[in-house]
Structure 1
Amino acid sequence: MKSKKIKTIILLGALIASLTSFGFSKRLSKTKKENTNKVVKKSSTLNQNKNISTNENDNSQNLSERPKLSISKEELNRVAKRIFQNEAAGKKNDLVVWNSGENFPSLGIGHFIWYKKGEKGKFEESFPPLVEFYKSKNIELPKIIKDNKFAPWKSREEFLKLKQNNNPEITELINFLYNTQDTQIEFIFNRLEDSLEKMLKVAKNKENVKKQFYRVANSPNGLYPLIDYVNFKGEGILPSETYNGQGWGLLQVLENMKGSQTGRAALEEFSQSAKSVLERRVKNSGAKNEQRWLRGWLNRCETYNN
C-alpha cells in the first residue's frame, strides 16, 4: 500500500513538472517571437530611413547640373583670341582700359570689371574672382594686384594720365595679362560650366533652358558663343542686372530660343536671340545712352554663327 502511494506521488510530480515545463516553453517561444518581431520592425525602420536618405541625395543631384564640357586646348586658345578681339580689338595696350561713361576699369581679354573701394556697381565684378583663380594656380601676381584689393585709381582721369605716362605698375599689369591669356580663358570656361546650374535655379522653363544650352554646346563651334556671351553679359540671374525687370544675360538668350536642330540652325538662332535681348536692353535703358554701344554688340553677335 505504501509502495503504491509512493508511485502515485512520483507520477503526479512528473506530470506537474511536464505541464510546468510546457507552459514555460510556450511563454518563452512567444517572448522570442515578440522579440524577433521587434528586431524585424526596427530593421525595417532603419532600411526605410536609409531609403529616405538616399532619395534626398538623389534629389539634390537631380537639382544640380554642372555639365562636363569637352574642348581641346587648341580650340580654347582660339576662343581666347576671339574674345581678345571682341573686347580689346586684339590690342595689347587695351588689356587695361577705363571706358568713357563707366565707373570702373576693365582688365584682361575678358575686360573683367574691377571696382574702386566703396563703389557699388550695377554689374557683377569679375576681376577679383580672376585674381583668386590666379592664386589657386600659384601664379606670381604683379605688384599692383598684390598691393590692392580694389581698383587703386580714384578716377578715370587719374588712370588715363598714369597710363599715358607709361606708369611702370600699369605697364607690368598689361604685360602680365597679355602673357596669361591661357589662364584667363580657362577662368571664363569654368564660369560657363558653372552657369547652367545657376540658371536652372531661377529659370521658369528649366527643360527648355537646359535643352537649348546643350543644343548650342553640341554644335560645331558651339562653345565659342556660349563662352563669349557668359563673359560678355553674364548669366542673367542677378536682379541688379536688369532694366524694367528684364535681364540680358545668357539665361535670357536661351529662354528666347525654341528650336531643336543642332549645328548651323542652333548657332543662327542663338545669334538672333542674343541680338534681340541686347536690343531690348538698349530700349529699356532709357537715358543711359547705351545706343552708342549697340552696333558693336550686334556685330559681336554676328560672329556666333560663323
Structure 2
Amino acid sequence: MLITLTIPLWPHITCAITLSHADVQRIGKRIWQNECNGTIFGLTAWNEGEDFASLGIGHFIWYPKGRRGPFEESFPKVVGFISKRSAKLPTWLLRGGEQPCPWNSRAEFLRAQHTAEMNQLRQFLADTIDLQAEFLIARLEGALPKMLAEAAPADRANVQQQFERLARTPQGCYALVDYVNFKGEGVLRTERYQGQGWGLLQVLESMHGTSDTTAVDEFSGAAKAILTRRVHNAPVARHESRWLAGWIRRVSSYSGS
C-alpha cells in the first residue's frame, strides 16, 4: 500500500510525497526509538526541567490546565487524529474537546506511574503506534506552506528546493518527519532564543546544495549547527547543554554518521 501526501507549495503548485506502508512503519519505529528507546514505558514521560508531559512515539507535548509555554502543544491533536480512525480511546480521554493534562506537575505525574489512568494511557499509546506515525507524516503535509510563508521572499525558492531534495527519498522523508517532530517547523515566533529559531525552516535555510544524493548528509550537518546555535543562545537557567550530545546523536542517525 502506498501513502501519498500532496503538499501545496508556494503559492499555487503541488508536490506529492509517496511512501509505502512499510516506509511509514519504519519511520514510526525509528521515531519511537529516538524518543522512547523503543519501550512501552517510555511512551509516557515528563522530562526534568519541563512544564509538560511528553507522550507517545513523538513525545507529543501536553500542558496541564492553565499552563502554556513557548513550545506547541500537540498531544490533543494526536488524540483527535486517532479518534477519527475508530481506535479505542481510554474512557477518560473521551470527554470531548482538547482536555488539559490531568497531572499538574512532574512530581504528580511520577507518583501516578502505576495508576489505572496511566496504565490505560500507556496501553492506548502502545496500541496506536502506526496511527501516531501517520499523524506525524500528515503533519509534515502542512509544514512547507507555513515555512514558505514565514521565510523571507528571497529565501523561499531555496527552502522549497531543499525540502524537495529530502522528500524524494524515504530516508529524507524520515529526516523531515523526525526533525519536525523533534524541534518543530521553525515558524513560531515564541520558539526563538535571541531572535533565532531552531526548527526545520532554519535548517533548510542554511542548506544550499543541489544533489539528491548528498541531501540527507547535508541536512544532518546543518541540523547539528542549528542545534548547537540554539544551546549557545538559550537562557543559562535552562542548562540546555546537557541535552546537546543526545540531540547530535539523533540528527546523526539521518545520515548514519
What TM-score comes out, normalization by structure 1 length?
Answer: 0.77
Match of 1:37 in 2: none
> Which consecutive unaligned segments of at least 5 residues does structure 2 have?
1-7
Structure 1 pair 112/66, CA: closer, same or farther in 2 (3 Å)? farther
Q: Write out aligned runs for 1:66-85 (5 A).
A: 67-85=15-33
- Tell me the CA shift for residue 61 of structure 1: 8.2
Q: Is the 8 A contact 1:66 1:194 kept in 2?
A: no
2:202 aligns to what? 252
- Which residues in structure 2 correspond to 1:215-234 (within 5 Å)? 215-219=165-169, 221-234=171-184
**Deviation of the 1:65 alpha carbon:** 5.6
2:108 aligns with 158
Give the C-alpha shift of residue 120 in structure 1.
Answer: 1.5
- Match of 2:141? 193
What is the 5 A alignment of 1:233-272?
233-263=183-213, 265-272=214-221
How far has the Cα of 1:67 moved from its partner? 3.4
Q: CA deviation at 1:102?
A: 0.4
Partner of 1:279: 228
Query: Is the 8 Å Cα contact of residues 65 and 104 (structure 2) preserved in structure 1?
Result: no
Q: Tell me if the contact between 1:66 and 1:196 (Cα under 8 Å) persists in the aligned partners.
A: no
CA shift at 1:139, angstroms?
Answer: 2.2
**C-alpha distance in structure 1 between counterparts of 2:18 and 2:217, whole Å:** 22
1:146 positional shift: 2.3
Structure 1 residue runs of 5 or longer lacking an equivalent are 1-59
Q: Distance in 2 between matches of 1:66 and 1:238?
A: 24
More helix by share: 1
Change (3 A) 1:249 1:162: same
Q: Which aligned runs of 4 or more in structure 1 are off by greater than 6 angstroms?
A: none
1:101 maps to: 49
Aligned with 1:237: secondary structure?
coil
Q: Does residue 295 in structure 1 map to residue 239 in structure 2?
A: no
Q: CA deviation at 1:150?
A: 0.5
Structure 1 residues 64 and 293, CA gap change in structure 2 (3 angstroms)? farther
CA contact (8 A) 1:67 1:193 kept: no
Match of 1:121 among 69, 88, 97: 69
Query: Which is strand-richer, 1 or 2?
Result: 2
- Picking from 158, 162, 183, the partner of 1:208 is 158
Identity of aligned residues (%): 48
Distance in 2 separating the partners of 1:185 and 1:65: 26
Specify whether residues 64 and 104 from structure 1 end up closer, same or farther in structure 2 by C-alpha distance, changes over 3 A only: farther
Q: Secondary structure at the match of 2:253?
A: helix
Q: Which structure has the higher relative contact order (CA within 8 Å, separation 6+)?
A: 2
- Deviations along 1:185-204, one digit per CA (max 9) or x if unpaired, are 00000111111111111112
Question: Aligned letter for 2:25?
Answer: N
Query: Post-superposition shift, 1:143?
Result: 2.4
Q: Is the 8 A contact 2:193 2:230 kept in 1?
A: yes
TM-score, normalised to structure 2, is: 0.91
Q: Return the offset for 1:134.
A: 1.5
CA distance in 2, matches of 1:67, 1:145: 36
Give the RMSD, CA atoms, in angstroms: 1.5
Q: Larger radius of gyration, structure 1 or 2?
A: 1
How many Å apart are 1:68 and its aligned residue? 2.1
